[in-house]
A and B are shown apart, each in its own frame.
Chain A
Amino acid sequence: MRRRLPAPATRCPLTVVGGFLGAGKTTLLNRLLAGSHGRYAVLVNDFGAINVDAGLIQDHDGQTLRLTNGCVCCSLADGFLDTLMRVLAEPEPFDHIVIEASGVGDPGAIAEIALVEPGLVLRGVVVLADAERLPGLAADPRLGDTLARQIRAADLLVLNKRDLVDEAGRAAARATLAALAPGIPVVETVAAALPAAFFDLGGAGPDRAWRGSTRLRAEAVPHEEAFQRLLYRRTGAFDRVALERALTAMPAALLRLKGRLGLADRPGMHLLQMVGRRWSLSPLPEPAPDAAELVGIAATDPGIGPALAGLLDAALRPPHIPHGDRTRCA
């Protein structure tokens, strides 16, 4: 009798997209599919409920899109689980699995799958909120607890439909998010327009896009002035415990961080992936060149470059002095 499942050769990243009905989940998924080049499996829920959304999602060239249905939080979940089992058993692994929680579903319950499924690593739980409806929904006696459960599950909050509210409305929406999920990064969008780079930071890796840079830079992402791209490049290796502390303390304006780094107590390079508050480190099959290279996406905020560099530098154990001058980091 076969006892254990064979250990997976690779771990597929899982992103869970949640948010109440109409928050923009499907728009975000469409952007994700349009802006990426990998082989994606996308599991969409709420078939019966928001069929308009399901109809919007187009099968994207070179990607695999799977639709399922049923509320994944309840006893009707078997159709969803059957689909996910087929995705996980696919002989050619996917580059990324994205699951859209239902409009009343708990994305946290779905994210738990990655905690027990060795073939998956949780990239993050992205929860959208409709800036216009958010304060009202949060106060709705029927819906407030469902909404709070969703928002508390987020690693990154997307406050969408920013164009539909004035400054007072925006402040009310942000206050609602801050009260429900203090400290979770919030990115404000119109039509769920996260920067494309958010999904596909640096293509295959940060080196391709940013090789040659020697210091942390911040630059506006073209046409996406609300965001800036950050680069952090150092020699040396990180102290693991200090790095964990630094990542936990990252400013809320940092939405995404990805890159390769060495750890002082481990051989080889490691891949850091961070979405909002959630991060993971996984070993890479290549020798450590005793250097770190990270790219990030942040909300426009002049202080974020120095803040990020300061936190990371404090965790770096330099056999070598870092290149560049910390104070000059943009």
Chain B
Amino acid sequence: MPSEITLFEARRIITMNPSRPDATHIAVCDGRVLTVGTQAEFDGLDAVADRRFADKVILPGFVEGHAHVMEGTLWRQTYVGAGDRRSPDGRRVPGLRDIGAVVDRLSEADRSIADPDQLLYGWGFDPLHLGGARLTRHDLDRVSTTRPVMVHHASLHITNVNSLLLEMAGFDENTAIDGVPKLPDGTPSGELQGIAARLRLFRGLGYNPMSGTLDAADVARFGAAAQLQGITTIADLHNDLTDATVAVYGAACVEGLPVRIVPALASVSCPPEDGVARIGRLAAASTDRLRFGIVKIVVDGSIQGFTARLLPPGYHNGAPNGLWYVAPEDLDRIVGVYHAAGIQLHIHTNGNEATEAALDAVEKAQIARPRPDHRHTLQHCQMATEAQLRRVKALGLCLNLFSNHLYYWGDAHHDLTMGPERAARIDAAGSAARLGIPLAIHSDAPVTPLGPLFTAWCAVNRTTSSGRVLGPEERLSVAQALHAVTLGAAYTLRMDHCVGSIEAGKFADFAVLDADPYEVPSEALKDVPIHATVLGGRVFTVPPA
């Protein structure tokens, strides 16, 4: 018996297929697009008409090329960040704009946890968006003096704890390390930073609350949070991929999960020769919904944390240069091994000195073993100079820029880390597009919220949280930005043959929008509601926010 054909109708279908950019109907069969066209082209087709999206606008399902499954794990805990987010169950969780609101939300969570000794864990705190306000142990003592309370910053590098947890960790006025700063009265403020402080924190708790094992519910929350934003394919771009994790993924990525997941092996988890063998084994276990095969390398830290490696003139405020997470000569070797084995690399470089080291490594690998269409991708690559972008192009690299930084940390980059000139070309998507570099843009969730339309809005408007515009010359058009969150990102994941556009033979993965992103003012791009998604022909609705 032939499979049933469903004919979806929409007000407009933006296909991202250049030879057929616009349509109104899509025929879907067995999870794939049969054909795309207009009413007249489907006359006589034996199909079940599905007109529920007849007044909607359909795009290819969005592809988030750089996020982390930790987004799913953290939603077990209490969000206390400054920006609005949607939790995986669809609730709108308002951002908190002062310390009092943070304390109130934590207090509410405190009342809902039955076990009086259980850790209360807040995440996403970002003092930059609270006018620099500090959170101290006294604030968290208002939440509880009898239960350990900790709040993780959005940067993931700093933690604040209450007095009880300080005591459990053994920190007091005699503690003398930089990672445990003091209040004017000489007692610890409750802020903890660095590995020594973190070790004592974990020792006091008796476990490391940040390294719990992944379970199927975490993956489900990750997928649900992505679906709400119109995403149908998402990368988990740094994972040890232990056997246990792979098993959890295998069990979770089945019919019913609204996204396809692309986990990247963290190169730091094993020597590259072992990594090549692991990727070989894992790739054989790939399915339509779970795709292994890529490797992530982290070269430096973060710009706002002053741990990114910068070329001269360095940090605008004079801070010392950041940290290599891998030495350039090791980077050469690691890139060389994976490149020679035919594996695609995703290389995190934030500062431009790290970008330079990555360019050098790829150039050496290409000379040693020329390889067409390797599609190695520089991730973040926020400070690349114009000369570096020309090398990116010449070496056949792709870019996945961290456009959400423009909004979230753009003011800090302008004032502190880069100064006005360099901040104006942060995440230089306009230059990348002019040079013809394959381009994606990303959220790095949970570092910033998931939301490809928001990310596109950042790249189109380049507006910071204070309203300043950074480098209008580097803006993308709406069409370029929509391409970057669909086919552009699919290309960087080597999945542009099956996702990222709506064309015959590709997966029937769609984002269904309430309005046409080309018709709304570009400043309103982020506000276009996601109505539903379709994955392999199956419809997943989005609850109204």
Residue ranges of A at the interface with B (Cβ–Cβ < 8 Å): 1-5, 20-21, 46-51, 54, 69-82, 84-85, 88, 103-104, 106, 109-110, 112-113, 115-118, 141-143, 145-146
CB closest residue in chain A, given B360: A142
Quick check: B199 and A84 within 8 Å, CB to CB?
yes
Quick check: B323 and A104 within 8 Å, CB to CB?
yes
Q: Which of B291-314 contact A (CB under 8 A)?
A: 298, 301, 307, 309, 312
Known contacts A3-B168, A103-B330, A143-B328; is-contact A70 B196 (Cβ 8 Å) = no
Contact residues in A for B323 (Cβ distance below 8 Å)? 71, 73-74, 104, 106, 146
Give me 11 A-to-B residue pairs in the complex whose CB atoms sit less than 8 angstroms apart, sorted by A's number: A1-B146, A5-B204, A20-B327, A48-B270, A75-B156, A109-B194, A112-B195, A112-B196, A116-B180, A143-B327, A145-B320
Quick check: A80 and B195 within 8 Å, CB to CB?
yes
Contact residues in A for B203 (Cβ distance below 8 Å)? 5, 85, 88, 117
A77–B203 alpha-carbon span in the complex (Å): 15
Quick check: A109 and B196 within 8 Å, CB to CB?
yes
Is B287 interfacial (CB 8 A cutoff)? no
Among B196, B211, B269, which residue has its beta carbon within 8 angstroms of that of A48?
B269
Quick check: A4 and B167 within 8 Å, CB to CB?
yes
Q: How far is the CB of A166 from chain B (nearest CB, A)?
A: 25
Is B170 interfacial (CB 8 A cutoff)? yes
Quick check: B170 and A5 within 8 Å, CB to CB?
yes
Quick check: B199 and A117 within 8 Å, CB to CB?
yes
CB closest residue in chain B, given A21: B327
A110–B195 alpha-carbon span in the complex (Å): 7
Contact residues in B for A51 (Cβ distance below 8 Å)? 270-274
Is B395 interfacial (CB 8 A cutoff)? no
Is B409 interfacial (CB 8 A cutoff)? no
Contact residues in B for A82 (Cβ distance below 8 Å)? 208, 211
Among B157, B269, B272, which residue has its beta carbon within 8 angstroms of that of A75?
B157
Identify which of A20, A82, A113, A142 gathers the most chain B CB atoms within 10 Å of its CB: A142
Is B79 interfacial (CB 8 A cutoff)? no
Quick check: B329 and A21 within 8 Å, CB to CB?
yes
Contact residues in A for B195 (Cβ distance below 8 Å)? 72-73, 77, 80-81, 109-110, 112-113
Is B363 interfacial (CB 8 A cutoff)? no
Among A54, A76, A115, which residue has its beta carbon within 8 angstroms of that of B298?
A76
Quick check: A70 and B268 within 8 Å, CB to CB?
yes
Is B392 interfacial (CB 8 A cutoff)? no
Q: How far is the CB of A26 from chain B (nearest CB, A)?
A: 14
A131–B117 alpha-carbon span in the complex (Å): 54
Known contacts A48-B271, A115-B196, A142-B357; is-contact A103 B168 (Cβ 8 Å) = no
Q: How far is the CB of A27 from chain B (nearest CB, A)?
A: 18
Q: How far is the CB of B188 from chain A (nearest CB, A)?
A: 11
Quick check: B269 and A1 within 8 Å, CB to CB?
no
Q: How far is the CB of A105 from chain B (nearest CB, A)?
A: 8
Identify which of B200, B270, B273, B329 gathers the most chain A CB atoms within 10 Å of its CB: B329
Quick check: A48 and B267 within 8 Å, CB to CB?
yes
Is B179 interfacial (CB 8 A cutoff)? yes
Q: How far is the CB of A15 from chain B (nearest CB, A)?
A: 16
Q: How far is the CB of B43 from chain A (nearest CB, A)?
A: 58
Q: How far is the CB of A261 from chain B (nearest CB, A)?
A: 26
Is B53 interfacial (CB 8 A cutoff)? no
Q: How far is the CB of B338 from chain A (nearest CB, A)?
A: 11
Known contacts A5-B204, A143-B328; is-contact A112 B194 (Cβ 8 Å) = yes
Quick check: A47 and B268 within 8 Å, CB to CB?
yes
CB closest residue in chain A, given B210: A78
Q: How far is the CB of A154 from chain B (nearest CB, A)?
A: 18
A2–B321 alpha-carbon span in the complex (Å): 42
Contact residues in B for A117 (Cβ distance below 8 Å)? 196, 199-200, 203
A283–B210 alpha-carbon span in the complex (Å): 38
Contact residues in A for B334 (Cβ distance below 8 Å)? 48-49
A50–B330 alpha-carbon span in the complex (Å): 8
Contact residues in B for A143 (Cβ distance below 8 Å)? 324, 327-328
Quick check: B196 and A4 within 8 Å, CB to CB?
no
